[in-house]
Structure 1
Amino acid sequence: MRDFAVSDSPAVQEQLDRLAALTLPQGRLGLDPVRELLTRVGDPHRALPPVFHIAGTNGKGSTSAFLRAMLEAGGHRVHQFTSPHLVRYNERIRLAGELIDDAMLADLLREVLDAGEDIGASFFEITTVAAFLGFARVPADACVIEVGLGGRFDATNVIEHPAACGIAALGIDHERFLLVEEEGAPAHPMARIAFEKAGIVKPGVPLITQAYEAEAQDQIERAARIAGSPLHMRASDWTASMGATIEYSDRHGELTLPLPALPGAFQTDNAALAVAMLRHQDRVQVPASAFADGIAAARWPARLQWLPNGPLTDLVPNASVLLDGGHNPDAGRVLADYLATIDGPIHAIGAMLAAKDARGFLSSFAERIASFTAVPLPSHDAFAPSTLAQIAREAGVRQTGTADSVQEALAALNRRGTVLICGSLYLAGEVLRENGPLPA
């Protein structure tokens, strides 16, 4: 998939412009291009610290944040690769705990782009190889690597011997890519999603997962069995329940852990998955105290994030502003659960990519919001505001409208209550760029 990025650094922007000019691989499947590119730059993926590889529809980013925080709380230096970025491209690559600096980012992108000029590699393939090159050159104790899309054919799936693989919550998303008919792949939508995510399984490597409905569970169990991968599924091999604390249990014993600082009840599931991934592998030692410390320390921007004072929030001085980048029906249901805990009127502002199930997303919380104002998402293949507003009406929102920008929408909502900005991580990035805080 193509992404969009800008940088204040001319050296970085030069390479981002080269990335933006890459053509999309139409109908191409397989990992041969990224493997060839890796070979040309010295196979850095074979020189990485122990890797924790995470797939999933929802929650994989938060799980990666919990993993990094727990590992760091245990005294380890951690590389991290995530996508997409929100404000700065540098957010995708974290070296030994710090966002990659502009000079090294420009150098890595230039080296990989130069090496692969004739391969026809994609934006994400180039990005992945650049990250692995940095990971191989900077000392660290562990890598946390998030799958970009799917799993089976994702560029990160060239990792050969990870310490553990994890699969977070599953749902329907990226249908144009993940639900295309293919011989040998299951036809049931959730089974197919699980089939793609379980493509990250590696022989002999522990696979740690949440619990799923039968069709998805069957695919994950089958993938683990074929690969000879020890499978540790929630409710079978480990459990976690939430009250005033998280009560976690597995064959190693029981833990009482604090609730996450990250808002939303679903974050307890992501935190528990991170704990299970660390406790079902033996390549990186993590003290028991690090689980609680990491849960308390983890941060993940644009997921139920309350915004501080800034140029945008100052436009609605009598309201609190909540930012969420979720964009599929499952994310809508999570958002609905959180909105149910908020008192008073909620007015939403949103934009969505045209490939997303806008009706499925909005219908989950339509009854909870007093209004929805659709805004444009410039430079992206997004719903026109008038179209998105119509979808919101059909989904059950009582009052809808459009505005030419988030600023205009906020200025028109100068009233008490809560303002929710939602529907797209790209929109969330623009909001953080304008208002702050920048992801760090």
Structure 2
Amino acid sequence: MTSETSMRLSTSTTRTYKDAINALNTLQSNFASIEAIKKLGPNVNKNQLSINEVYEYTRRLGYQPKDFNKLNLIHVTGTKGKGSTCAFTESILEQYRLKNGGGISKIGLFTSPHLKTVRERVRINGRPIDENKFAKYFFEVWDKLSTTESDVEKFPTLQPSDTVKPMYFKYLTILSFHVFMSEGVDTAIYEVGVGGTYDSTNIIDQPTVCGITSLGIDHTFMLGTTIESIAHNKTGIFKKGSPAYVSEQLEYPESLKVIEERAKELGVSKLEVVSASEIPKDIKLGLAGDFQKLNAVLAVQLAREHLTKLNVLPPIEAGESFTLTPEFIKGLEVAKWEGRCQIIKDKPTFENITWYIDGAHTLESVNVASSWFRKELTNKAPTSTKRVLLFNQQSRENATALLAKLYENVVTDSFAFDHVIFTTNVTWSSGKYNSDLVSLNTSKEQVDKLIIQKELAEAWNELDSSATKKSRKHIFADIETGVNFIKSLSEDKVEVFVCGSLHLVGGLLVVLDNDTE
């Protein structure tokens, strides 16, 4: 970011939401920050440097980590299901907020990524903060960081202080703390971005409780290539004196040994492993998919521990089990989380089309999402129904592996897609993204030349080579064109599976809502 750009953004008299988004988007490929880090050379621990910068930026805003303890923070990490676990937890606690004497007045939720609007990442009482508040708090942080300084010797990467700003996710994390403190939030749920130890959210001093969802092999360039190294990093959110709950690790049970060792090393007050069998069978969860039972159980324990800390619920004595209260049951049943095993049917202007949507983007999550889709269509697929796959994964090296896992789970001799569509994550046929969905951390050349989409089409060709019924393949430069093609098929009933990327899902939801700017 140039000094001229920084000055223009800092002195803007308009200060609208759009101004804030335009400023935020400059941080996706923050040239000044990247160049400052490069100058340090290869021997610097860049992960440690990154988390130290979060401490420094919050100091420049006037906060110390212990100040955030008044938010009564719940901290959640994992490979898959952490967003859903946070949604279940929020929904349960919301029932106590609405109840007189519930001990909670404002619930903050920080998650990532967003689907349609960046404000989804910073929620209060179940709703994204409004555009005016986002702009107000965004520029309070922007201006404060533009007019304060860091020690040059301790923080050479933050120089010059009036120009260098935190990278995109780091800025939003810092912003969320400022929003929640300013708005008087007294319960906050934080979803880790990547890993744990060095994640931007991990400046939390004393969480009321920590949680770890199912672990898998992901973000190996940051977390290592083994489940042990990944588990070691994820457990970095554990804090001395705070309890921790962990989902049973069905795919990688060996990770539990690392988790137990780290719990002792980091001094957690209690460590418990939870099982999906703990959810009563007669409860209908608000989030679809059998795998959500495990996330729901973890959320129950996180919410129960949190409410106990706030003296809303009495402590559970050793050996006693917790009976779900009506508030817990309702919270589980009404929980919502867009883009995860979501079904949209007969939307206006899209009659006859049912959309099965999941932003799965890891091997483990694609495995469960495709199994969910296949189960949903079992015994309800008339011969006149057209089946369509809409897929993209723009930024992962294993995109073709994700596609292969999906094919393995869904396609059989008796079940095939009529059409398979590969698009970029560009929102509109004009070649533009919605400003909240701009993605500058992917190769523009790859997007423009449809390089990944062509690779995916070739991979599908190979997967489909011996199929009894082969799919027709289509490559489109944007989501809107793909959606219009699907709409052209809707003289018959159409069932569309959308998978592979939360960015794809977010763009799709914007197009379905015709949410043009």
Q: Which of the five TM-score ranges fits, normalised by the shorter chain?
A: 0.7 to 0.9
CA RMSD after TM alignment: 2.6
Query: In the alignment, residue 11 of structure 1 is paired with which amino acid?
Result: D
1:160 lines up with 2:232 in the alignment: no
Q: Per the alignment, in what secondary structure is the counterpart of residue 421 of structure 1?
A: strand
Alignment of 1:153-192 (within 5 A): 153-179=198-224, 189-192=226-229
In the alignment, which residue of structure 1 is the partner of 2:457? Answer: 389
Alignment of 1:33-182 (within 5 A): 33-43=53-63, 45=65, 46-47=67-68, 48-75=70-97, 76=104, 77-117=106-146, 118=161, 120-179=165-224
The one of 309, 313, 320 aligned to 2:354: 320
In structure 2, the CA distance between the partners of 1:65 and 1:402, relative to structure 1 (3 Å rule), is: same
Rounded to whole Å, the distance in 2 between the matches of 1:91 and 1:432 is 14
Q: Per the alignment, in what secondary structure is the counterpart of residue 349 of structure 1?
A: strand
Q: Per the alignment, in what secondary structure is the counterpart of residue 201 of structure 2?
A: helix
The TM-score normalised by the length of structure 1 is 0.85
Q: Per the alignment, in what secondary structure is the counterpart of residue 222 of structure 1?
A: helix
Query: In the alignment, residue 134 of structure 2 is paired with which amino acid?
Result: L
Query: In the alignment, residue 301 of structure 1 is paired with which amino acid?
Result: E
The one of 46, 67, 71 aligned to 1:28: 46
The 8 Å contact of residues 348 and 419 in structure 1, kept in 2 or not, is answered as yes
1:269 lines up with 2:287 in the alignment: no
Query: In the alignment, residue 507 of structure 2 is paired with which amino acid?
Result: E
Structure 2: tracts of 5 or more residues without a match: 1-14, 38-44, 98-103, 147-160, 314-324, 427-438
Deviations 1:83-119 (A, max 9, x none): 1111111111012443212222112222323333525
Which deviates further from its counterpart, 14-23 or 86-95? 14-23
The 8 Å contact of residues 328 and 360 in structure 1, kept in 2 or not, is answered as no
Query: In the alignment, residue 283 of structure 1 is paired with which amino acid?
Result: K
Q: Per the alignment, in what secondary structure is the counterpart of residue 364 of structure 1?
A: helix
Q: Per the alignment, in what secondary structure is the counterpart of residue 293 of structure 1?
A: helix
Query: In the alignment, residue 358 of structure 1 is paired with which amino acid?
Result: A
Rounded to whole Å, the distance in 2 between the matches of 1:10 and 1:261 is 33
Q: Per the alignment, in what secondary structure is the counterpart of residue 80 of structure 1?
A: strand
Q: Per the alignment, in what secondary structure is the counterpart of residue 401 of structure 1?
A: strand
In the alignment, which residue of structure 1 is the partner of 2:500? Answer: 423
Rounded to whole Å, the distance in 2 between the matches of 1:390 and 1:413 is 24
The one of 287, 292, 297 aligned to 2:334: 297
In the alignment, which residue of structure 1 is the partner of 2:267? Answer: 228
Rounded to whole Å, the distance in 1 between the matches of 2:472 and 2:257 is 42
Rounded to whole Å, the distance in 1 between the matches of 2:78 and 2:311 is 25
Deviations 1:45-84 (A, max 9, x none): 4234211100011100000001110001112321110111
Deviations 1:387-409 (A, max 9, x none): 11122334458425123232244
In the alignment, which residue of structure 1 is the partner of 2:23? Answer: 15
Identity, % of aligned pairs?
28
Which deviates further from its counterpart, 196-205 or 25-34? 25-34
In the alignment, which residue of structure 1 is the partner of 2:309? Answer: 283
Rounded to whole Å, the distance in 2 between the matches of 1:70 and 1:106 is 29
Alpha-carbon shift at residue 374 of structure 1 (Å): 1.0
In structure 2, the CA distance between the partners of 1:105 and 1:318, relative to structure 1 (3 Å rule), is: closer
Which deviates further from its counterpart, 291-300 or 39-48? 39-48
Rounded to whole Å, the distance in 2 between the matches of 1:361 and 1:400 is 19
Rounded to whole Å, the distance in 2 between the matches of 1:8 and 1:138 is 20
In structure 2, the CA distance between the partners of 1:432 and 1:285, relative to structure 1 (3 Å rule), is: farther
Rounded to whole Å, the distance in 1 between the matches of 2:206 and 2:508 is 39
In structure 2, the CA distance between the partners of 1:62 and 1:162, relative to structure 1 (3 Å rule), is: same
Q: Flag the structure with larger Rg.
A: 2
In the alignment, which residue of structure 2 is the partner of 1:329? Answer: 363
The 8 Å contact of residues 284 and 333 in structure 2, kept in 1 or not, is answered as yes
Which deviates further from its counterpart, 407-416 or 95-104? 407-416
In structure 2, the CA distance between the partners of 1:214 and 1:305, relative to structure 1 (3 Å rule), is: closer
In the alignment, which residue of structure 1 is the partner of 2:373? Answer: 339
Rounded to whole Å, the distance in 1 between the matches of 2:133 and 2:399 is 38
The one of 257, 268, 278 aligned to 1:218: 257
The 8 Å contact of residues 79 and 140 in structure 1, kept in 2 or not, is answered as yes
The 8 Å contact of residues 348 and 373 in structure 1, kept in 2 or not, is answered as yes
In the alignment, which residue of structure 2 is the partner of 1:183? Answer: none
The TM-score normalised by the length of structure 2 is 0.73
